């Protein structure tokens, strides 16, 4: 896997997400190439990556909700 560079922009920089995309692009292309070389077609690889990213984000959101609830309970007890 390719080396991924560290962020060079502050967390609130307006174009930080674009820089992140540019940083991940080559590794992303490598992943697609490896999957298609293994026999998966490009469309199903793309859909799988989207589903994985969506599930990852949904899990992050649920963890944030759970952390907020735990913090609230700790605060009132």
The pLDDT tens digits of the residues spanning 12-55 come to: 999 999 999 999 999 999 999 999 999 999 999 999 999 999 99
pLDDT at 65 over 90: yes
Q: Using pLDDT thresholds of 50, 70 and 90, give the confidence band for residue 66.
A: very high
pLDDT at 20: 95
Question: For the whole model, what pTM was predicted?
Answer: 0.78
pLDDT at 1 over 80: no
54: CB partners within 8 A, 6+ apart: none
């Amino acid at each position: 896997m390719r080396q991924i560079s560290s962020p060079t922009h502050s967390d609130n920089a307006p174009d930080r997400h674009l820089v992140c995309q540019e940083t991940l692009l080559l590794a992303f292309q490598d992943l697609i190439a490896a999957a298609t070389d293994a026999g998966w077609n490009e469309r199903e690889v793309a859909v799988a990556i989207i589903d994985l990213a969506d599930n990852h984000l949904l899990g992050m959101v649920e963890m944030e909700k759970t952390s907020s609830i735990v913090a609230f309970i700790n605060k009132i007890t």
